[in-house]
Chain A
Amino acid sequence: MTAASDYIELHAHSYFSLLDGASSPEALVERAAQLGMTALALTDHDAVYGAVRFESAARATGIHAIFGAELTLVGGSHLTLLVENERGWGNLCWLISQARGNAPKGEAALARHLLERHTTGLIALSGCHKGEIASALLRGDPRAAGEAACFYRDVFGTDRFWIELQHHKQPGTPKLLFKLVTLARQIGVGYVATNNVHYATNDSHEMQDVLTCVRQGTTLDDPLGGRRSNAEYYLKSARQMAELFTAYPAALTNTRRIAERCHFVPQYGLQDLPTFPTPAGLSGEQYLRQLCEEGLLRRFPDRPVAAVTALDHELRVISRAGLANYFLIVWDIVRFARENGIRCQGRGSAANSLVAYLLAISPIDPLAHNLVFERFLSDERRSTPDIDIDFQADRREEVIQYVYGRYGADYTAMACTFVTFRERSARREVGKVLGLPPEVIESAVRHVHARNRGDLNQAAGTGSSLPNGFSAGESEQRAQYDRLCAQIKGLPRYLGIHNGGMIITGVPLAMRVPTEPATMPDRVVCQWDKNGLEDAGLIKIDVLGLRMLSAIAEALDILGETTGAPPDLDNLTLDDPTVYQMISRADTIGVFQVESRAQAQVLPRIQPRAFADLIVSISLIRPGPVQGNMVHPYLRRRLHEEPVIYAHPLLEPALAETLGVILFQEQVLKVARDLGQFTAGQGEQLRRALGKNDAEGIARFQAAFVAGAEANGIAGAVAAEVFGQLKAFGGYSFPKSHAAAFAVLVYQSAWLKCYYPAAFYTALLNNQPMGFWSPAVIVNDARHHGIRILAVDVNHSRANCTIEDGGIRIGFRYVRGLGEAGADRLEAARGAIPFSDLADFCARTRSHIPRKLVEQLILVGALDSWSIARRQLLWELGQVRRSDDELDLAFVHEVVTLPALSRAEALRAEYLILGLSTGDHIMALYRAVLNDAGILGSAALTRCADGERVRIAGQVVVHQSPPTAKGHHFVTLEDENGLMNVIVRPDVVTQTNKLPQWQGYGLNGATLVLVEGIVQHKGDVINVVATGIFPLTVDSVAK
């Protein structure tokens, strides 16, 4: 009789063996526990991607986690490695890094000789049938098998090299096992059974087949698809394994012997940061204090007691947490950026810290804004705080390179991300694997709207996810397609690079976590993502790119060039009434964070008049306040339409600044403290539980909260009601500190728009894509602000948009197909000598601007300066030899007279080629007809009374249906005079199904609609509540 504990699986792949393993680490652990296994090894291909999750799941289940990997050697053979101890972990990480670095992205190839000095603390198993020894025996070369076995025995030692036996019911297996065991006995090493697990249970072998086909680009019907011939690669019980290895019982008991030797758990933390070099004689803590004192002198010359006290407190907490070194590293990165003119600022909870403010990491004085330091760091908080810094996006790479240079490429890497199958990619890839016709796959993909992400499981269950593509007799095939798509969703596909997360260590990184090359040259990523790094205790520093910072920097550069002295944006007093008036009338297109349609609804009601109002404004339109029904009570209270009330007077100190409602994450901490008698650290833990919607954690905190409140003399019912508000809020909001840091950018960008609109719009156009609105809307907004928009011109435009005589000249970058490099080349080809005519232009650009692009330039008027009609230029272009491979034929130069482009034709060309119009708005072409039919535009709409029935028409520039809106759609229409807001109720939304994806109506594919509805005034905000919505056609106008 075999006991369950007699067999430990030492060779298991999770789905972090990308496109090979089919089960999560958690699923493997769960199955192992069901089978009564006391330990389990995870041995993904050339990776430890899943190690942290594996360890966490194993710890929770009481299973002993064994770390390892199946390494790919040069030539493609495999070797299974298991970690005995910390030294072994370091060696495994190093070997994986070497193997990854020696092969194209996604592959690995370790030169065998590199094993020689990196085997300490590792146990090697000889691998699957792709192992050097098994494969040599399979091809009938026992000599090579013997040589390889002796090599590994000598490198690892007789007690740490084992011949691996696998039995997957394949032809020839008994013979192979016999040869392997014989060889093991001959060379004096042990043998051990494994099952080379690729899925937790055998029903998952279908998914493994699908993944294999995706990996190899084949279909299931392809006989050479590389799929396995049966379903035997699942986690088997001791009894099942015993049946397979009746002839070799020691192979099973040896699994336990090996498992008992492996006892390593990665534990990192602050000790892994490099030690920041401090001036002689100063410790990190002393140097940090010195820098803070210098900052204190700059920021608070009078050394107010509150600041000095707060600084002392923070430095003590930082010291106890051992974080001085961390702060110095971050300070140094920011220092580099500032010294090199790279705009940057901290975001997130770091802005709660006075130390961060004094070190110029954060732009926010936490004392002035009543921010809570414990939201950032406290003695109770166990995990290391994040300091996230935004840098201007176009120069972020310089900062990253600085960090690489400062700490060394071997000590620095980016965090990875795992790109997973999403609904559309699942549809596409599974469809291909099943061999479905392309039109069926595309039909399925089209049907999957981005907003339906997450509905796949439900759709698979109802069989209603695909309205077309399959015929009635193919319901089984369709169900299979749905089922497989649902199963594959969420599985990792390939490794990506984190947006900005950098990891820096004091010892070579490859000894801590494996690294591998990223797609970007000279970049390496580590094998753990953000969560893995955090859970393993490795500190990440987020070096993020923010395009608004780039736009602000560019606007300042433009002003520096045009006025001689850029304004001192960093020392604005943040209290200019003109700026607040502009924001209050929602004249905010292009302004950071407050430009959206939703913000435009709120700003005229809030009427921001001070910096604190900006913090509130950007915090209101967040899922927490929206879903917690905080927005309208706040607005009503602010407008004195309802009284400010508190569920209990003790809430007033926490919620007074937001009129009794919860808007900021910090307020959760304050409410927990004031009512529930939580410490700051406990409050933070509660906020995290709320943010993660951790039901178990929330329930635990609720009991503590109610108990604390009752001890405070507060009735249980009141405490429960307040806790209910905290739960509804959910934590999906900005911390006030984050909102405050962002509000600085709101003010700065608004200030630029207010006083230097041409520079502001130019910078916005040059840093697209960013923000809420398309370049077409930005250009129209600029025009409404009296700024002339000048067409692309080969003799005046530059690669980027520029200011010209107070107007904005559209740059070559907007010409579709030219690209950034093409735009630069065109500008360089012109140099200082303008093009004299078409022939000159063609002669100087023929080597790098193809004919098609010249045609596009002509069509958008870029060659209008010679006063030749565009059609005429196109005709002439046909007679110019453009490239060396065109025959140099002599043409009879016919003189033809061609009509000029109509307004509509010119406009269409601009929309198609530039994506915007430098002249007319499309709706201007319809205005006379619309006026005759009594259909209003944005200008007339402002004069309509509340409740008036109207018909309006415009171009759809935004169409939203957020999940929080309960089926309502929000549409923004634009015409030549401005924007119009339309609310479409659910019963009217059904009509919009007649407008396929809101496209294809009117000129150039723009969506032009006619809306019938009722005018609704809310303060200064005007909406039209639609009662009907139609494509704008001759018929609909005439109705």
Chain B
Amino acid sequence: MTRLWPNGEHIHVTLDERAIPQAFVWRERRHVVQDLADRWQVDVDWWRGRVRRDYFKLTTRGGLLVIIYHQYHPSTDDSWYLQRLYD
């Protein structure tokens, strides 16, 4: 089972110099990234409100396997979200 937040759970992320997440805070709890398993980018829906996101699939030192993403939207939303948590 995994938990999915279609609209994302807002998180705060710490990045390294290559803009790769090192840690994130979710529900007031800090999770340090152990390993980056995968990353990808989507850039869709330009005709009805562009959605551009960088996704990261990573494990934390606490043993979580998660998918988080960075949403690019310079004017309204330039934030990080947790989308999926694997059991």
CA distance A220 to B47 in the complex (A): 8
CA distance A221 to B47 in the complex (A): 9
Q: Pick the contact of B44: A170, A171, A229, A434 (CB < 8 A).
A: A229
Q: Are B47 and A206 in contact (CB under 8 A)?
A: yes
Stretch from B9-17, B33-41, B58-66, B77-85 forming part of the interface with A: B33-41
Report whether B41 and A230 are in contact in the complex, using a CB–CB cutoff of 8 Å. Answer: yes
CB distance from B72 to the nearest CB of A (A): 12
Judged by a CB distance under 8 angstroms, whether A205 is at the interface is yes
A173 at the interface (CB under 8 A from B): yes
| B42 neighbours in A (Cβ, 8 Å) | 229-230
Contact of B41 with A169 in the complex, beta carbons under 8 Å: yes
Interface SS, A side: loop
The answer on a CB contact under 8 Å between B55 and A171 is yes
Q: Say if the beta carbon of A172 comes within 8 Å of chain B.
A: yes
Q: Which residue of A lies closest to B67 (CB)?
A: A171
Q: Is the Cβ of B47 less than 8 Å from the Cβ of A480?
A: yes
| Interchain CB contact under 8 A, A171 and B38 | yes
Complex CA gap A803/B40 in Å reads 77
Which chain A residue has the least Cβ–Cβ distance from B39?
Answer: A169
Within 8 A of B (CB), among A199-257: 205-206, 209, 220-221, 227, 229-232
Which residues of A from 165 to 190 have beta carbons under 8 Å from B?
Answer: 169-175
Closest CB-CB distance, A172 to chain B, in whole Å? 6
Q: Which residues of B contact A232 (CB under 8 A)?
A: 41, 43
Q: How far is the CA of A643 from the CA of B47 in the complex (A)?
A: 65
Please determine whether A174 and B38 come into contact, CB atoms closer than 8 angstroms: yes
Task: Assess the A169–B40 pair: CB atoms within 8 A.
Answer: yes
Chain B residues in 8 Å Cβ range of A206: 46-47
Q: Are B43 and A172 in contact (CB under 8 A)?
A: no
Roughly how many angstroms separate A232 CA and B54 CA in the complex, as a whole number? 12
Closest B residue by C-beta to A433: B47
Nearest CB on A from B53, distance (A): 9
Binary flags per residue of A104-136, CB closer than 8 Å to B gives 1, else 0: 000000000000000000000000000000000
A220: chain B residues within 8 A (beta carbon): 47-48
A175 contacts across to B, CB distance below 8 A = 38
Taking the closest CB of chain A, its distance from the CB of B3, in whole angstroms, is 19
Query: Which one of A220, A230, A434 has the highest number of Cβ atoms from chain B below 10 Å of its Cβ?
Result: A230
Kindly identify which residue among B44, B48, B57 contacts A230, using a CB–CB cutoff of 8 Å: B44
A127 to chain B, nearest CB (A): 21
Closest Cβ neighbor of B47 among chain A residues = A220
Whether the Cβ atoms of B43 and A231 lie closer than 8 Å is: yes
Residues of chain A contacted by B48 (CB below 8 angstroms)? 220-221
Bin chain A's interface residue count: 10 to 19
Beta-carbon contact of A230 and B43 below 8 Å: yes
Look across to chain B and name the residue whose beta carbon is closest to the beta carbon of A434. Answer: B47
Q: Are B43 and A170 within 8 A (Cβ)?
A: no
A172, closest chain B residue (CB):
B38
Instruction: Tell me the minimal C-beta distance from B86 to chain A in angstroms.
Output: 14
Interface digits, A772-803 against B, CB 8 Å rule (1 contact, 0 not)?
00000000000000000000000000000000
| Min distance, Cβ B50 to any Cβ of chain A, angstroms | 10
State the Cβ distance, A900 to closest chain B Cβ, in Å.
61
Bound-state CA distance A209–B55 (Å) is 22
Residue of B nearest to A206 (CB): B46
A-chain residues with CB within 8 Å of residue B40 when the two chains form the complex: 169-173, 230
Q: What chain B residues lie within 8 Å of A230 (beta carbons)?
A: 40-44, 52
Distance from B47 Cβ to chain A, minimum over Cβ atoms (Å): 5
Complex interface bits, B1-23 against A, C-beta within 8 A gives 1, otherwise 0: 00000000000000000000000
CA A221 to CA B46, docked complex, whole Å: 11
Complex Cα–Cα for A175 and B40 (A): 12
Alpha-carbon separation in the docked complex, A170 to B43 (Å): 11
Q: How far is the CA of A171 from the CA of B48 in the complex (A)?
A: 24
A205 touches B43 (CB 8 A): yes
**Which residues of chain A from 245 to 290 have a CB within 8 Å of any chain B CB?**
none
Complex formed: what's the CA distance from A205 to B52 in Å? Answer: 13
State A231–B54 Cα separation when bound (angstroms): 12
Contacting residues, chain B, for A171 (C-beta < 8 A): 38, 40, 55, 57
Q: A170 — nearest CB in chain B belongs to which residue?
A: B40
Query: Contacts A171-B38, A171-B55, A175-B38 given: A229-B43 contact, CB under 8 Å?
Result: yes
How many angstroms between the C-alpha atoms of A1014 and B46 in the bound complex? 58
The interface bits of chain A over 576-599 (1 if a CB of B lies within 8 angstroms of the residue's CB, else 0) are: 000000000000000000000000
Contact residues in B for A434 (Cβ distance below 8 Å): 47
User: Which residue of chain B has its CB nearest to the CB of A169?
Assistant: B41
Distance of A232 Cα from B42 Cα, bound (Å): 9
CA distance A206 to B43 in the complex (A): 10
- Chain A residues, Cβ within 8 Å of B41: 169, 230, 232
Closest B residue to A221 by beta carbon equals: B48
How distant is the Cα of A434 from the Cα of B48 in the complex, in angstroms? 10
Scan A806-839; emit 1 where CB is below 8 A from any B CB, else 0: 0000000000000000000000000000000000
A174 to B38, CA, bound (A): 7
Bound Cα distance A205, B38 (Å): 24
| Smallest CB separation, A913 vs chain B (Å) | 46
Q: How far is the CA of A205 from the CA of B41 in the complex (A)?
A: 14
Distance (whole angstroms) from the CB of B39 to the closest CB of chain A: 7
**Chain A residues in 8 Å Cβ range of B44:** 227, 229-230
Question: Chain B residues near A174 (CB, 8 Å)?
Answer: 38-39
With the chains together, A205 CA to B50 CA distance in Å?
12
Q: Which residue of B lies closest to A203 (CB)?
A: B46
Chain A 475-513 per-residue mask, 1 if CB under 8 angstroms from chain B, else 0: 000001000000000000000000000000000000000
Interface residues of A in 908-930 (CB under 8 A from B): none
Name, among B40, B46, B55, the residue most crowded by chain A CB atoms within 10 Å (CB to CB). B40
CA distance A918 to B84 in the complex (A): 79
Minimum Cβ distance to chain B for residue A228 (Å): 9
Shortest Cβ distance from A220 into B: residue: B47
Give the docked Cα–Cα distance between A227 and B44 (Å): 9
Min CB distance A540 to B, Å, is 42
A221 to B39, CA, bound (A): 25
Min CB–CB distance B41 → chain A (angstroms): 4
Question: A585 to B50, alpha carbons, bound, how many Å?
Answer: 67
Which residues of chain A (429-459) have a CB below 8 Å from chain B?
434
| Complex: chain A residue closest to B53, CB-CB | A230
CA distance A232 to B48 in the complex (A): 20
Which residues on B sit within 8 Å (CB–CB) of A231?
A: 43
Inter-chain CA distance A220–B49, complex, in Å, is 13
Query: Across the interface, which residues of A come within 8 angstroms of B43, CB to CB?
Result: 205, 229-232
A558–chain B nearest beta-carbon distance, Å: 60
Looking at the assembled complex, report how far the CB atom of A138 sits from the nearest CB atom of chain B, in whole angstroms: 14
Q: How far is the CB of A453 from chain B (nearest CB, A)?
A: 26
How far apart sit A172 and B37, CA to CA, in the bound complex (Å)?
Answer: 9
**Chain A residues positioned under 8 Å from B39 (CB to CB):** 169, 174
With a cutoff of 8 Å between Cβ atoms, the chain B residues found around residue A205 in the complex are 43, 46
CA distance A169 to B47 in the complex (A): 21
A1020 and B46 CA atoms in complex are apart in Å by 64
Find the B residue at minimum CB distance from A202: B43
Quick one: closest B residue to A243, CB to CB?
B18
Alpha-carbon distance A434/B46, docked complex (angstroms): 11
Q: Mark A152-176, 1 if CB is under 8 A from B, else 0.
A: 0000000000000000011111110
Chain A residues with Cβ below 8 Å from B47 are 206, 220, 434, 480
A217: min CB distance to chain B, Å? 17
B71 CB, min distance to chain A CBs, angstroms = 14
CB distance from A519 to the nearest CB of B (A): 33
**How near does chain A come to B51, taking the closest CB pair, in angstroms?**
10
Which of B39, B52, B55 counts the most A-chain CB atoms under 10 A from its CB? Answer: B39
**Can you list 22 pairs linking A and B with CB atoms under 8 Å apart?**
A169-B40, A169-B41, A171-B38, A171-B40, A171-B55, A172-B38, A174-B38, A206-B46, A206-B47, A209-B46, A220-B48, A221-B48, A227-B44, A229-B43, A229-B44, A230-B40, A230-B41, A230-B42, A230-B44, A230-B52, A231-B43, A434-B47
What 4 additional pairs, Cβ within 8 angstroms, besides A206-B47, A229-B42, A230-B41? Answer: A169-B40, A171-B57, A220-B47, A232-B41
Residues of A at the B interface (CB closer than 8 Å) are 169-175, 205-206, 209, 220-221, 227, 229-232, 434, 480
- 3 closest A-B pairs by beta carbon, nearest first, are A169-B41, A230-B43, A171-B40
